[in-house]
Amino acid sequence: MDRILVSACLVGWPVRWDGGAKTLHHPLIAEWAAEGRLVPLCPETAGGLAVPRPAAEIETGADAAAVLAGKGRIVDAEGHDHGPAFREGARIATATARVRGCRFALLTEGSPSCGVDLVADGSFSGRRRAGEGVTAAALRAAGVEVFSTNDIEKLAERLAAEAGDASTAK
């Protein structure tokens, strides 16, 4: 059975920067949880950040690849660099996916860690820009297929396709 690394906030864990969760109430989440497919992880807390913590964004002009390479920063509104914790969280998420057999990930859109297609624009204004978070980028580089909550049905299709491939291979 294919496992899914999932942003812990999506399954109700209060790990977000503001101390809250971003619980995704979707029948597929309940189904996958009942099947034992979900592997919850918050890369930010795994990387050593507290709950609550200052909001942080990938700095303007940088992207996930630059942060992962140590050439870009993830900063809070006061300019403090939290990049090392985000890199460590991405490393732990990638290692967890490998050890737990997660070929797929379902991540929180907009996050500097978990954003799949969108991240905050670095201005702390609430605006978003195209881009991915550092954990999403690290997981993709490791061969994990990454999906946002907006694409949960596509993830279900991939799981069904994989299950079909496995049954025809027998």
Residue 126 CB neighbour total at 10 angstroms: 8
Per-residue pLDDT for the chain (170 aa), expressed as one digit of tens each? 899 999 999 999 999 999 999 999 999 999 999 999 999 999 999 999 999 999 999 999 999 999 999 999 999 999 999 999 999 999 999 999 999 999 999 999 999 999 999 999 999 999 999 999 999 999 999 999 999 999 999 999 999 998 886 544 44
Rounded distance, CA 60 to CA 120, Å?
Answer: 9
pTM: 0.94
Per-residue pLDDT, 56: 97
Residues 39-85: tens digit of each pLDDT: 999 999 999 999 999 999 999 999 999 999 999 999 999 999 999 99
Q: Which residues pair with 105 in a beta bridge?
A: 5, 146
Question: Is the preceding omega at residue 52 within 30 degrees of 0, hence cis?
Answer: yes
The CA distances from residue 30 to 35, 66, 83, 156, in Å, are 9, 36, 33, 13
Q: Which spans in 110-169 are helix H?
A: 134-141, 152-168
Per-residue pLDDT, 166: 57
71: its two tokens:
């050439």
Q: Which spans in the chain are helix H?
A: 27-35, 43-46, 64-68, 83-100, 134-141, 152-168
Backbone angles phi, psi at 63, to 5 degrees: -140, 180
27: its two tokens:
């029948």
163: its two tokens:
């299950």
Q: Which of the 8 DSSP states describes residue 68?
A: H
Rounded distance, CA 119 to CA 27, Å?
Answer: 26
